Structure 1
Amino acid sequence: MDFHYVAMDFGGHGLSSHYSPGLPYYQQNFVIEVQRVVAVTWGLALYSCTFPEMVDKLILLDRHFPLLLTEPTESENLLTYKRRMIEHTLQIEASQKPQRVLSPEEMLQGFLKNNSHVGEECARLLLQRGTTQVATGLVLSRDRRITLPEYSIDFISRDLLVPFIRKLQAHILVIKAMQGFYNVRRENDADKAALNLVKDILKSVLKEWFQYTEVPGNHYIHMNQPQHVAGIIGSFLKSSTPNQL
């Protein structure tokens, strides 16, 4: 079976332009960006719920799920979370801190020092799209307003999550790295209750349309050890969806 793959950089990432000052990075914006360029049946989680007819199969590789508000008291704090995001965005915009210009080797070593879970080959590939050449060296191209990913992740209540999932028409594969996102971004956070809750809801609602597997490795396993996920993904793409059986 032949496949055509499209990889895109969302706004503020890689080779894509940054948003203008005052425009926050919301997940909904990324959905709009996908819809602008999509020409085949692919997508991401929120896109698959919003445009379910466009997605046949969805692969979530060590994906961080929306920040799930599991308790009523957390929902009451939603405005507090939103306020922090706005204040963070405006603080970064107002700082006008100049970008550090580094040599390619300095950039590589600094990246490896701050990201010990990434191998050198993986780091070089990431920096190809994550840096911009200037007269005296390289600067990071990622918008500093999204340095903290939790400020661009949507908050959603459990009551809203179930209707969202029921909109899906895709066959879903979730691959979880055992030392994945939560270990990289939240090293001291052993509480994965929200993650497990999302997994249980997906399984309960989607049934045979949902496939979950865990693999050894960290968040960048698809780059550090692609052989651990290539076979799983290949088999999933070649398999028939439940409505084709």
Structure 2
Amino acid sequence: MAARGMLSELKVAVPWGHIAAKVWGSQQTPPVLCLHGWLDNANSFDRLIPLLPKDFCYVAMDFGGHGLSSHYSPGLPYYQESFVSEIRRVVAALKWKQFSILGHSFGGTVGGMFSSIFPEMVNKLILLDTWPFALDPKGIERVPIYRRGAMEHVLQVEASQKPLQVVSPEDMLQRFMKNNSHVSEENARLLLQRGTTKVATGLMLNRDRRIALPEHSMDFISREQFVHFTKQLRARVLLIKAAQGYYSVRREDDTDRNIVAFVTDTLKLVLKERYQYMEVPGSHYVHLNQPEKVAGSISAFLQCKETIPHHL
């Protein structure tokens, strides 16, 4: 099912191929860049964007190695900083000077980091069940372990001669549902529509096999750095937390159970009136499963006329 009002598919040329994106609305209207979560793709926003104000241009990009975007060149791993750089390439191609970001999960942390590095470019930052910067509940000490895992995984994939798996559409759906229990069947099909390629004997996943665990790509930072990066933000920030979402799930090896309070308190303390927080019923994929629960708040936030101050 294609989203109502979709204007076009877009390809932005990059040195390793292209970044694919979907565009809703007129490119003469204020722009909003939509960033999907880990292993998802631009279809993640198909049900939400038709419920948002029509007087904006929404561009949902596929990160490199995801959806319909090119895979990185051989030998190169996927790090969060690379995805941040992709945003800079896309907005340069679109000639956007200022824009808003709507990011879900990993897309929100990529968008948050971009907003801190290029603060003058981002008017508004909307975070869907995510934080603007990555804090690991297990602590910053684990970063060397993650980096080692990332490098070893890439070496293993490169050494492997295994052909890409081709499975039946039904098997593909069942595997996806098993790994993504919070996504409804209808929306699993929607994500697979852009996340797979049809061949004679079935379906193949589009994503790059070098992309493994999210922690292999995340740029985890300390609490001190979190405060510093937050101070760089000029954007107005709306954080929408899903009541049954990712940060409500307690993991056995969490060393710090006050991490959610630290994030929300820091954002409130530093950003003051530029920060809004709300909690909605629903899972980590509430924007896809029940978009009407978040559409009203996002619409009001986007339509608020205040822009970023030039001097803070």
With normalisation by structure 2, the TM-score equals: 0.70
Q: What is aligned with 2:5?
A: none
Instruction: Report the counterpart of residue 33 of structure 1 in structure 2.
Output: 86
Superposition deviation, residue 76 in structure 1:
5.0
Letter in 2 for 1:176: K
Give the conservation status (yes or no) of the 8 Å contact 2:125–2:236: yes
For 2:168 and 2:145, locate their aligned partners in 1 and report how far apart those are by CA, in whole Å. 40
Q: Which stretches in structure 1 are left out of the alignment for 5+ residues?
A: none
Which secondary structure state, in structure 2, belongs to the residue aligned with residue 198 of structure 1? helix
> Where does residue 110 of structure 1 map in the other structure?
175
Identity of aligned residues (%): 60
- 305, 308, 312: which one pairs with 1:240? 305
SS in 2 for 1:49: helix
Residue 54 of structure 1 corresponds to which residue in structure 2? 121
Q: What letter matches 1:82 in structure 2?
A: R
Query: Are residue 11 (structure 1) and residue 64 (structure 2) matched?
Result: yes
Which one of 220, 226, 230 corresponds to residue 161 of structure 1?
226
Corresponding residue for residue 188 of structure 2: 123
Task: Please list every run of at least 4 consecutive aligned residues from structure 1 whose deviation after the TM superposition is greater than 6 angstroms.
Answer: none
- What is the RMSD of the two structures over their aligned residues, measured on CA atoms? 2.4
Query: How big is the shift at 1:188?
Result: 4.7
Give the letter aligned to residue 156 of structure 2. Answer: Q
Q: Secondary structure at the match of 2:242?
A: strand
Of 46, 54, 63, the residue aligned with 2:130 is: 63
TM-score by length of 1: 0.88
Q: Structure 1 or 2: larger helix share?
A: 1
Q: Please report how far the alpha carbon of residue 77 of structure 1 lies from its aligned counterpart in structure 2 after TM superposition.
A: 4.8
Does structure 2 conserve the Cα–Cα contact (< 8 Å) formed by 1:88 and 1:145?
Answer: yes
* Change in 2 beyond 3 A, CA 1:84/1:105: closer
The answer to whether residue 205 in structure 2 is matched with residue 140 in structure 1 is yes
What are the superposed Cα offsets for residues 132-175 of structure 1, whole Å, 9 maximum, x if unpaired? Answer: 12232211111222231111111111222222111111000011
In structure 1, what residue type is equivalent to 2:165?
R
Q: Take 2:78 and 2:215, find their aligned partners in 1: how far apart are those partners?
A: 11
CA offset digits 1:57-102 (Å, max 9, x no partner): 010101255442689xx55554333222212222233233322212
Secondary structure of the residue that 1:7 maps to in structure 2?
A: strand
Q: How many residues are treated as equivalent by the alignment?
A: 241
| 2:192 partner letter | L
Determine if contact 1:102/1:138 at 8 Å carries over to the other structure: yes
Q: What is the rounded CA distance, in whole Å, between the counterparts of 1:76 and 1:223 in structure 2?
A: 34
Q: Which stretch of structure 1 is more off in the superposition, 58-67 or 197-206?
A: 58-67
> Which has the bigger relative contact order, CA under 8 A and spacing at least 6?
1
The 3-state SS of whatever aligns with 1:139 is strand
Tell me how far apart the structure 2 counterparts of residues 15 and 192 of structure 1 sit (CA, whole Å).
Answer: 38
Distance in structure 1 (CA, Å) of the matches to 2:230 and 2:131: 16
In terms of mean alpha carbon deviation, does 142-151 or 223-232 score higher? 142-151
Letter in 2 for 1:59: I
Deviation larger for 57-66 or 190-199: 190-199
Classify 1:7/1:48 alpha carbon distance in 2 versus 1 (closer, same or farther; 3 Å).
Answer: same
